[in-house]
Chain A
Amino acid sequence: MKYRFAIPLFLSAFLIQSTLINYFTFFGKAPNLLLCLVILLPFFYEGYQGLVIGVVFGLIQDICFSVLIGPTAIGFLLVGILMKVIRQRLEWDSIISVLSVAVLGTCVYYLVSWRIIAVFIDIYPLFYMLKGLFFVVVYNFFSMLLFYLVIGKRAVKHPQDKGMTGSLIHYY
């Protein structure tokens, strides 16, 4: 995905997440839209745009809503790299893949950022964090599913598409 598409996408996710999404919370939890993009963009698209912009917005999110600046950006960086690695092993055009990356990406991000924050500040116990994580994973999966059905499917080339290359042969 090109920067001119990725930047507005991240900006919208950031603004919606900090304002409107608060009306859709259940059990005090809300989906993490920025994390959803950090997971999906490196997974669906070539290039490092999702990763780079993800790190920048991770910093912005920390500046606005955190005591520490950096843990969110580090979490996004590691999740983005993980998605780049997984991209080579999973079929993109599948809801099961979206579910897998949603669960894996969300868990890795929250565990990494929790660990970093816990080094500096007395934060939630791990058990309490894991309890809330279930709802966030469910939320994130549905947000990612929506993204996949509306935008993501177009990122996947099909056999009839022009310009098919040998690297995409395993999608048959």
Chain B
Amino acid sequence: MRWYKEHWRLSVVLLVLLILLAVTLLSYVNQGSNSWIGKRIESAATFVQEPISSGGNAVANTIKGLFQFRSILEENEKLKEENKKLEAELIEAVLSQQELSELQKLSTSLNYISPADNYKHVTASVIAMDNSHWFNIFTINEGTDKGIVKDAVVINEDGLVGRVYEVGADWSKVISVIDEDNDVSFQVFRDLGLLGILSGDGSGGLSGYMLDDEAPVIKGDVLITSGMELYPRGIPVGKITQVSKDKDALLQKVTVEPAVDFSNIQKVTVIIAVAT
């Protein structure tokens, strides 16, 4: 006791350190289920971060628009060209559309439910993200009020972003697919019969292996989700950057560059499974 009194500063530091270590251990055991206080803190932070983030977005987009005027004009010319091509393709598509509508009529008469009908989509804005932190975790401005649930899949216009890690009334915390230990099963877009498994490689990318060790995959192949696990089918995951053979494990390994730029996400769509 006397020692503690004589070294009270050191005792306080050790006590705080012990408490913090205990908190770390507890949070590891109860991953993804924040305490009541934690949720209140996140709600309060979201309340302040949302207007700051939207203000920042508005200013950044205005400045970006001013500097990108020339490139926007060039893009406009390209789009006009593309539009001409698309008009030609549209004529061909009309014929296919007729076939499709006939098939749809048939599926209705057979009471077929499309997989797309099993999902609801909620669009949300990213309101807080910390690029200095270890994890690619960010907060979006929609929560249980809009039907978002834990583990709902999050995508953006480029592809698979991740899943909802924690959810509050009007906010959700999203963990990116590159930070995940959870496996993502994929198909190769070029040949949908080629299947494999991916997970975060711990350095901002994805890596995994093909189910068939002789699968003819090549660098540049685009991968999409296969729909076998948490993630619905058809979401772009990334592009293969390296194919290698692991002779010991008899596996064909693939290294994948994610389709999404995780350092710059502004809008996302949350896919919520609807009970049928």
Chain B positions 153 through 183: 1 when the CB is less than 8 Å from some CB of chain A, otherwise 0:
0000000000001000000010100010100
User: How many residues of B are counted as interface, with CB atoms below 8 angstroms from the partner's CB atoms?
Assistant: 45
A74 touching B48 by the CB < 8 A rule? no
Query: Which residue in chain A gives the minimum CB-CB distance to B181?
Result: A122
**A125: chain B residues within 8 A (beta carbon):** 202-203
Q: Does B52 contact A (CB under 8 A)?
A: yes
**Contact A114-B131, Cβ < 8 Å, known A67-B31, A74-B20, A120-B24:** no
B263 touches A25 (CB 8 A): yes
CB-nearest residue of chain B to A18: B128
Q: Which residues of A contact B129 (CB under 8 A)?
A: 18, 22, 65
Known: A30-B132, A65-B133, A72-B133. 14 other contacts (CB 8 A): A19-B49, A23-B56, A23-B60, A29-B131, A62-B27, A63-B41, A64-B137, A67-B135, A77-B20, A81-B13, A116-B24, A122-B181, A128-B202, A128-B203
From A19, A33, A63, A123, contact of B127 by CB (8 A)? A19
Nearest Cβ distance between residue A122 and chain B, in whole angstroms? Answer: 6
- Among B34, B49, B138, B263, the residue within 8 A (CB) of A63 is B34
Which among A22, A28, A67, A81 is the interface contact of B175 at CB below 8 angstroms? A67
Q: Contacts of A67 on B, CB cut-off 8 Å?
A: 27, 31-32, 135, 137, 165, 175, 179
Interface check B53, CB cutoff 8 A: yes
CB nearest neighbor in B for A11: B48
Q: State A31–B137 Cα separation when bound (angstroms).
A: 17
A interface list, Cβ under 8 A from B: 14-15, 17-23, 25, 28-33, 35, 55, 59-74, 77, 81, 113-114, 116-117, 120-125, 128, 136
With a cutoff of 8 Å between Cβ atoms, the chain A residues found around residue B128 in the complex are 18-19, 64-65
Q: Which residues of B contact A70 (CB under 8 A)?
A: 20-21, 23-24, 27
Enumerate chain B interface residues (CB-CB to A < 8 A): 13, 16-17, 20-21, 23-24, 26-28, 31-32, 34, 38, 41-42, 45, 48-49, 52-53, 56, 60, 127-135, 137-139, 165, 173, 175, 179, 181, 202-204, 263-264
| A21/B131 in contact, CB under 8 A | yes
B49–A28 CB distance below 8 A: no
Q: Which of A21, A63, A64 has the most CB of B within 10 A?
A: A64
Instruction: Say yes or no: A31-B27 contact (C-beta < 8 A), given A19-B49, A66-B137.
Output: no
